[in-house]
Structure 1
Amino acid sequence: MTSDQTYPSGTPVVVLSQRGPELAETRGEIPSDHPQAQQQPAGQLLREATPEDLAAAAHLAQLAEDLKWALRAHARSLGLKVKIVQLEFTLDESLVTLSYSAEERLDLRGLISEVRSFTPARVNFMAVGAREQAVVLGALGLWTRELLQSLLAGVAADYHSYGA
């Protein structure tokens, strides 16, 4: 079942991606002359998200956060030199994607037992590089950039007020 209905920008919806059902947000219409308008969508829009979908997504986001910290501790105890970057569940909790970075190729099967103590979901390991890490951790970068801009604006204001 796919939805032919259009939704206003910012509406939470359930989509079927390659990984499974996921929560997404509509972003508006793409102009017909835009190159992306000619591309096939990566997934299927199923329906508008229900309050139950939103509650499930919030629960799974918290579970992912808790699991991320447990996996970081477990990886340290195993002596693995790995950075657990992010965990994402599908909306039906059938799959968890574990994004990580490491300097060298690692056998991460030892982490699966820790995942199993939290969820029965299948585990998909996805190695990410520095660029992908920056996207995931971008909020800190944005905050730092905004702080730096405000500090520089303050320095410039002080500089001009002293008549230099």
Structure 2
Amino acid sequence: MGCKSCTTGGCGTKTATGAVGGCKNNGACGTGGCNKMNVFDWLSNMETPSTRRYDAAVEVKFKGGRKEYYRNPHQIDLTTGDFVVCEMQTGYHIGCVSLQGELVRLQMMKKNIPFSDDLKVIHRVASPKDLEKHEQAIARDLTTMYRTREVVKELKLNMKLSDVEYQSDNTKATFYYSSDERVDFRELIKILAAEFKIRVEMRQISLRQEAGRLGGIGSCGRELCCSTWLTDFKNITTSAARYQNLSLNPSKLSGQCGRLKCCLNYELETYVDALRDIPQVEKPLETQKGRASLQKTDIFRRIMWFGYSTESTWYPLPIARVMEIQELNKKGIIPESFDLLEPMAERKETAKGLSSLNSDLEKLDKKFSDRSDRKKKRKKKKPSSGGDPAASNGRQNQNTEKS
């Protein structure tokens, strides 16, 4: 997405040399379209009276999508994308303004964050000297993480270090790690503090938060939800997969974090509403031909498929018919075997629907089968190299007479 606020023009377009042009601001433009985990400011184009404009607090984003709210006591005129110097417990840190105005007040109300003196303060807009020092701090992240992993391996600690974030004043570093058990890292802190001359903070994060910080591409082909827009990680159980008739295959249901995929909850309510009218088949249906067991359920087409143990054929049955046969079985009545099948009209409609769904596949199969037949005919028409010499001489004589 192009940045409307940059003066270079043509963001995201390539120059004559092949390099990408534009402001090279890496998502800190005023439009907010290319920010990671951004909040769309739908009030940005609306003019509000200066007396009612909310500028007491702003939302600031740091590395890894971490967001915090800060007071603006100096009434600095800020816009989305500005780098500001923020107050920390020790020293200061530089972040990017991700949201400002009336939406900040609404977000704080939603997250139950009271506006009080306990909120940290924004000191000023970052100067070029502050940004240069901030870039130097960022450059230390990778080297520190690699060295820390070596120390963790030497100390034989059962923990996985995923990320390191230096404070902009180079006085403190936060180490993000994940572990399944309690880790005694007192010796590790002493080694890191003595080697890097910094204050060390160890912060344990969950596997979902770790995947969100590292990022990646999911099985759907899109960037991970946890690294783009998802912030609240809800509990996910295997019952969500059962409601959606998914096979309980851990390799398919697990995300890159090793836990169940968050997207299993996205359509769960729709499936639960659709399953309310579908009867539960706890035992096979009794017919004179035998016992018919439930094989699968098409939830949205409201069709249930049954099959006999002696046959490999599955019979589609509408929900109303299933409930009717269940009532007959409760009364001790065993219907005829053909009662299990659909009426002829409904069966034709079902076959028509299935044929329309598979028409594309049938066309592809026919296309490739025609190609294979053509290749076989071409091979048969090719003359063999070792033929009759008299016949070859005759062809040559005919060619000379024509010429």
TM, length-normalised to structure 1: 0.76
CA contact (8 A) 2:79 2:100 kept: no
Q: Which has the higher contact order (CA 8 A, sep 6+)?
A: 1
Which residue of structure 2 lines up, in the alignment, with residue 5 of structure 1? 76
Higher strand share: 1
CA distance in 1, matches of 2:219, 2:100: 30
Q: Select the residue among 97, 108, 133 that pairs with 1:36.
A: 108
Measure the CA separation in 1 of the matches of 2:220 and 2:88. Answer: 33
Q: 1:49 maps to which residue? A: 126
Q: Summarize the Cα distance change of 1:56–1:2 in structure 2 as closer, same or farther, 3 Å threshold.
A: farther
What stretches of structure 1 of length at least 5 have no aligned partner? 148-159
Is residue 90 of structure 1 aligned with residue 195 of structure 2? Answer: no
Rounded Cα–Cα distance in structure 2 between residues aligned with 1:144 and 1:48: 40
Equivalent residue runs for 1:6-155 within 5 Å: 6-18=77-89, 20-31=91-102, 34-36=106-108, 39-40=114-115, 42-116=119-193, 118-138=195-215, 140-141=216-217, 145-146=221-222
Higher helix share: 1
State the alpha-carbon separation in 2 of the partners of residues 69 and 91 from structure 1.
Answer: 20
SS in 2 for 1:73: helix
**8 Å CA contact 1:71, 1:114 repeated in 2:** no
What is the alpha-carbon distance in structure 2 between the residues aligned to residue 78 and residue 8 of structure 1? Answer: 47
Kept after mapping to 2: 8 A contact 1:30/1:36: no
| Bigger radius of gyration | 2
Preserved contact between residue 67 and residue 115 of structure 1 (Cα < 8 Å): no
TM-score (norm 2): 0.34
Deviations 1:3-33 (A, max 9, x none): 3212221011111134541111112424267
Among the aligned pairs, what percent are the same residue?
21
Say if 1:24 and 1:56 are closer, same or farther in 2 by CA, change over 3 A. Answer: same
- For 2:149 and 2:172, the matched residues in 1 are separated by 19
Which one-letter code corresponds to 1:5 in the other structure?
Answer: I
Residues 141 and 43 of structure 1: CA distance in aligned 2, closer, same or farther (over 3 Å): farther
The equivalent residue for 2:345 is none
Question: What is the root-mean-square deviation in Å for CA atoms of aligned residues?
Answer: 3.1
Please list every run of 5 or more consecutive structure 2 residues that lacks an aligned counterpart in the other structure: 1-71, 224-359, 365-403
